[in-house]
Amino acid sequence: MSADETSEGEKKLDVIRQVVADDVAAGKHDGRVQTRFPPEPNGYLHIGHAKSICLNFGIAEEFGGRCNLRFDDTNPTKEDVEYVDSIQEDVRWLGFEWDELHFASDYFEQLYEWACQLIRQGDAYVDSQSPEEIRAQRGTSSQPGTNSPDRERSVEENLDLFAKMRAGEFADGEHLLRAKIDMASKHLILRDPPMYRIRHAEHHRTGSDWCIYPMYDFAHGQSDSLEEVTHSICTLEFETHKPLYDWFIEKLGIFPSKQYEFARLSLTYTVMSKRKLLELVEGGQVDGWDDPRMPTLCGLRRRGYTREAIRAFCDDIGITRYNGMTDMVVLENALRGDLNKRAERRMGVLRPLKVVITNYPEGESEELEAVNSPEDESAGTRMVPFGRELFIEQEDFMEDAPKKFFRLAPGREVRLRYAYFITCTDVIKNDAGEVVELLATYDPATKGGDAPDGRKVKGTLHWVSAEHAINAEVRLYDHLCKVEDLSKIPDDEDWKSHLNENSLETLTDCRLEPSLADFDAGTPVQFERLGYFTLDANATTAEKPVFNRSVTLRDAWAKMQKR
RNA sequence: UGCCUGGUGGUGUAAUUGGUAGCACGCAUGACUCUGAAUCAUGUAGUCGGGGUUCAAGUCCCUGCCGGGCAACCA
């Protein structure tokens, strides 16, 4: 039973779903539920958007409603088709399909007419002051603003000016259409907020059709209303916009969409703001939006995250109005949970250490049977080649091993998984005193991994046959940032100085069992004892496969060592 | 010093709307184990403070404290 279920298995309702359920029960909008996911196409979607996607599409599903995908494309200077394409791909990848696809830019004509309506009603006016003058008149949180000298322009003059703004007769910034509300309002947002600005810029969809563009506040709620969105769900920082959201809808007399807010996702050790992510991409600190260290959906996908894991994670963290910080391990555990059930097991050695089995006949080899998944018998078994020369993991050997070290050490016996028990007899070092090779003997009677005499070993190691192994590159990842909470970094400090310079470790001399040679990108695999991996289709070449480690396995030994 | 909003174990959350503070993750211990994984069992720790109403307060009232957001011609 999960935390958000009752003993009857019924879903507990979060703050937003509770409102929806109440509205449906009360017969509001005849019980109709319409939501929307409204990204601005100015960047790639990240795990925080996944939370919103799961919420909006999830609610529609659960309440028999509909959910649209709408691009909030009202700022042409920041937006691009590259982003609208990737956003659609990512939403679909998560497993959701929108009922209708819309663009705020499709509403530009309607929005323009509505702006004219407000002018005619005396609820909007053209301000011809400079941005600086307007800012100076806004007042502060404790002091009221002052009225613009243009505030009492006649309807005719406003209409004329606004038409000329549209017609392109003015330069950027020369005029501004503002809502006429109250310069003394306690809600700063209501101090005659801007509705339309002049921007002679090429829009990725409308081209040069427009040189005036509506502001968020005069586009978002109106778009919601046009789509008859019943529940307009957004994050908490839009809370202060709600009075304005309602004001426009009321003045226009259009469909009464309502806004509800929830807390955005913050994850430890990473960045979530599109601005900062863009900075990393442009600054070359990462390989692109889909760098496996990025919290973007494409990055997580390339890292090996599954949609199931991401959706389970979103389910897990819940929806509240509390701005918390979610530990990255919650995300990682969601992945482990999903992959443990589905990923087949293979053996691969990341940092090879050669072992020669001195009593194994030279020039010979054999095949041993290994199970593909302990969690799923139907996954069957495969044959793994074994020979006289093997590779094991460097960290699985210790010359002066403490008692708690269950792995290989001089004189100690361990099991090679699915193969034989071996005992280390000699250690070969180079001039620098580093261990470069191990000599060992094997017990033929333990073939398959069990001793007929019932003798036990504490450790079981993964291994590959030197002769048969394939070479591979493996990339290991760590947190993007060294600090847990990036928002705690003072503004005068460069947040990028807190980036983890060791977030990527590339291992170029890894040896994998031969069955990994033609592995599908997108199919998760567990390298036993090391973690879950996925083939990186972008980086893999004909000569050399490249695997990304998605996440490590839980590691009690590593924890013990830390103490 | 304005407005909006929030505060439940370390973290994320739940509490039938006033009635036994529960779940998950983490952590610890143990069982099992051919992955120091998985699984299972046990344990760990919490209602921001102070008043008040009440038979009964995480929940209602007052007050204090702390946090987040808002003063872009961004979204």
Has residue A212 got a pLDDT over 70? yes
Q: Please, what is the average pLDDT of chain A?
A: 95
A511 given a catalytic annotation: no
Per-residue pLDDT at A490 = 81
Nucleotide nearest to A321 (CA to C1'): B6
Q: What is the pLDDT of residue A1?
A: 31
What's the CA–C1' distance between A42 and B46, in Å? 42
Tell me what pLDDT residue A7 has.
38
Q: Is residue A34 within a helix (H) or strand (E), and if so which, with residue range?
A: strand A34-37
The percent of residues above 70 in pLDDT, for chain A, comes to 98
Å: A404 CA to B69 C1' = 51
Provide mean pLDDT across the span A230-242.
Answer: 96
Q: Which of residues 82-121 of A touch strand B (CB under 7 A)?
A: none
Three-class SS of A251-306: HHCCCCCEEEEECCCCECCCCCCHHHHHHHHHHCCCCCCCCCCCCEHHHHHHHCCC
Contact call for residues A540 and A472 (beta carbons, < 8 A): no
Whether residue A385 has pLDDT greater than 70: yes
Res A223 pLDDT > 60: yes
Query: A129: Cβ under 7 Å from strand B?
Result: yes
Assess whether pLDDT exceeds 60 at residue A4: no
- Looking at residue A351, what is its pLDDT? 98
Closest CA to A303 of A508, A463, A479: A479
Q: Is the pLDDT of residue A522 over 90?
A: no
Q: What is the band of A268 on the pLDDT scale with cuts at 50, 70, 90?
A: very high
Q: Which of A4, A12, A21 is nearest to A63 (CA)?
A: A21
Distance A235 CA to B59 C1' (A): 25
pTM for this entry: 0.95
**C-alpha A62 chain-centroid distance:** 24
Percent of chain A residues past pLDDT 90, beyond the cut? 93
A489 to A236, A370, A397, A481, A495: CA distances (angstroms): 21, 50, 41, 12, 7
Active site residue A264: yes
Query: Which amino acid belongs to residue A306?
Result: T
**pLDDT value of position A562:** 78
Average pLDDT over residues A385-395: 98
Across the range A115-121, mean pLDDT stands at 98
A36 touches strand B (CB under 7 A): no
CB atoms near residue A395 (< 10 Å): 12
ipTM: 0.95
Q: What is the pLDDT of residue A11?
A: 59
Query: With 80 as the cut, is the pLDDT of residue A49 above it?
Result: yes
pLDDT value for A492: 81
- Domains of chain A by range and CATH? 15-262 (3.40.50.620), 274-345+472-561 (2.40.240.10), 348-462 (2.40.240.10)
Helices (H) and strands (E) in chain A, counts: 13, 25
- DSSP bridge partners of A474: A507, A547
Average pLDDT over residues A31-59: 97
pLDDT tens digits, residue range A293-335?
999 999 999 999 999 999 999 999 999 999 999 999 999 999 9
Which of these ranges, A216-220, A258-262, A320-324, A557-561, has the smallest mean pLDDT? A557-561
Residue A517 binned pLDDT confidence (cut-offs 50, 70, 90): very high
Residue A88 confidence (pLDDT) above 90: yes
**CA closest to B27 C1', residue:** A559
